[in-house]
Amino acid sequence: MRNFSDDAILLRTKGINKVFGSGKKAVHAVKDVDFAMHKGEILSIVGESGSGKTTFAKILLGLTQETSGEVFYDGKPRDLGSQAKRKQYWRNIQAIFQDPYSTFNQFFRVEKILNDCLVLQGQKNLKTEVKHEKMREACTFVNLKFEELYNKYPFELSGGQMQRLMIARIFMIKPNVLIADEPTSMIDACSRSTILDMLLKLREEQDMTILFITHDLGLAYYVSDTLYIMENGEMVESGAAEDVILNARHPYTRRLVQDVPKLNEPWDLDSVV
Ligand SMILES: Nc1ncnc2c1ncn2[C@@H]1O[C@H](COP(=O)(O)OP(=O)(O)OP(=O)(O)O)[C@@H](O)[C@H]1O
Ligand SMILES: [Mg+2]
């Protein structure tokens, strides 16, 4: 695993807090999080259900407003003050979520969904054949057949096809940062390893920086250069993946490490998915 500490920081946060509600019912979902992601890195946030992972991811994406703190992209404070700036930001940073059903507008056919990726990239005036060729290339990357799917609605696809369509979207948008929030939680082990391999291929072929979010430390260790451990809204430990696993200092991390079978044995994908 590479150590990224000397590489350029692409995405950084300072003192991020998120409180939902107020008074006695307030939930402090994210607590004072300092975070840095380097260019080309695969970084995982690992934590149990309810620890604040998705909330933090949505703050990074600009989909949830932080209560306090700051997000920096490419060395500058993030500015989402206008529609144009938000569009520009979402060209740079994209996500795939736990639930593919929530990603797609169910009233849009696959062709429109993929065409919107070209529009986001500013490529809306291409000839239909050129557009279709780009869509076909993206579908081939994720082992989908464009000709069979382009006229269908998302609800006519299987869960696995939808997961792959989400990655085809990312392939077309080519963001600098991809946030993958539990992208494999709803699928079987075989599709899971395919999806993970596709994410690793995206990094290799498009030099993508990837934030992977999971409750599964074994999986995170397999794919990541760097790990952040999140408990009750706090990042309790972080560092190079091997360091965090082998020299876990925080009791919560030690407990997570103990829960992973075979962590001290040689790793292959089949043992963790
Ligand atoms: N929109 C919201 N309104 C109120 N509370 C929320 C909202 N979204 C999240 N929360 C609360 O914030 C806390 C963190 O939730 P979050 O979804 O970020 O956890 P998570 O780590 O992603 O969990 P999981 O692994 O189950 O996806 C939880 O207590 C949750 O109930
Ligand atoms: Mg979540």
Indicate which CATH number applies to the domain containing 217: 3.40.50.300
pLDDT at 271 over 60: no
In a domain, 22, yes or no: yes
Domain of 183 in residue numbering reads as 9-106+177-271
In a domain, 92, yes or no: yes
In a domain, 191, yes or no: yes
pLDDT at 59 over 60: yes
In a domain, 100, yes or no: yes
Q: So what's the pLDDT on residue 107?
A: 92
pTM: 0.90
Count how many domains the chain has: 1
Which residue lies with its CA nearest to atom 6 of ligand 1? 20
3-state secondary structure string across the chain = CCCCCCCCEEEEEEEEEEEECCHHHCEEEEEEEEEEEECCCEEEEECCCCCCHHHHHHHHHCCCCCCEEEEEECCEECCCCCHHHHHHHHHHEEEECCCHHHHCCCCCCHHHHHHHHHHHCCCCCCCHHHHHHHHHHHHHHCCCCHHHHCCCCHHHCCHHHHHHHHHHHHHHHCCCEEEEECCCCCCCHHHHHHHHHHHHHHHHHHCCEEEEEECCHHHHHHHCCEEEEEECCEEEEEEEHHHHHHCCCCHHHHHHHHHCCCCCCCCCHHHCC
In a domain, 236, yes or no: yes
- Per-residue pLDDT of 5-27, as tens digits, reads 667 999 999 999 999 999 999 99
In a domain, 193, yes or no: yes
Confidence of residue 127 (pLDDT cuts 50, 70, 90): very high
In a domain, 119, yes or no: no
Which residue lies with its CA nearest to atom 27 of ligand 1? 49
pLDDT at 227 over 80: yes
The response to whether residue 263 sits with its C-beta less than 6 Å from ligand 1 reads: no
In a domain, 128, yes or no: no
Q: Rounded to the nearest whole angstrom, what is the distance from the C-alpha of residue 110 to the centroid of ligand 1?
A: 30
